[in-house]
Chain A
Amino acid sequence: DVQMTQSPPILSASVGDRVTITCRASQSIAIWVAWYQQRPGKAPKFLIYKASTLESGVPSRFSGSGSGTEFTLTISNLQPEDFATYYCQQYNNYPRTFGQGTKVEI
């Protein structure tokens, strides 16, 4: 299985900050990475696919980059509604696997 390792597990930030979450894959997965946001008690929300393509309707303060084994999710100008847990996920191989999550907290 492809292991997805996210860092940091918890990220403390303030409104207006720029934050970056890193996701490392245990083997090369080209650009086949997606990112999700999950608020407490809610289903994950799809943010980014193909490592850097923003899903329709997702604010432009979200951006993704990377290829191969290292990927990043950046949130610029952090807004109150962005405080949540973020997951990366690879879809280059089966089984599909997720990172363990990064909680962005105030």
Chain B
Amino acid sequence: QVQLQESGPGLVKPSETLSLTCTVSGGSISDSYSFSYWNWVRQPPGKGLEWIGSISYSGNTKDNPSLKGRVTLSSDTSQNQFSLRLSSVTDADTAVYYCARVSSNGGFDSWGQGTLVTVSP
């Protein structure tokens, strides 16, 4: 069973770049025959879920236009990790950030536990 774990700073200053990494165990992020996509989803305190973006097993990326080009997604297959960078953060980016897998069934079927990132001076 695949497991995901987010890591990264819990506090980021306004205008700086938020960087998070998701480490995957129990499955390979470059496994092509599982049709897996690796995603970031966030949830501001007390609010709903927002999809940030995804990176495929082959390294193709998609991100949410609402984030206005501030998102960079990458992967490191040697470490079985994928990463998120969100630039020019403001307090509106304060949220719990989750990494999650989409497999052949199309839904987010495995999730990390989430990590709270606070944007504050």
Give A contacts to B, CB under 8 Å.
1, 32, 34, 36, 42-46, 48-50, 53, 55, 87, 89, 91, 94-101
Contacts and interface: CB of A to CB of B under 8 A. Distances in A.
Contacts, number: 63
Interface of B: 39, 48-51, 62-66, 98, 100, 102, 105-114
A96 B51 CA distance: 6
B48 A50 contact: no
A95 B109 contact: no
A50 B106 contact: yes
Contacts of B109: 46, 49, 55
14 contacts: A32-B106, A36-B108, A43-B111, A43-B114, A44-B108, A53-B105, A87-B49, A89-B49, A89-B107, A89-B108, A91-B107, A95-B65, A98-B48, A101-B48
Nearest to B66: A95
Nearest to A92: B106
Which 6 A-B pairs have CB atoms at the shortest separation, nearest pair first? A34-B107, A43-B111, A96-B51, A49-B107, A95-B64, A98-B49
B22 to A, nearest CB: 12
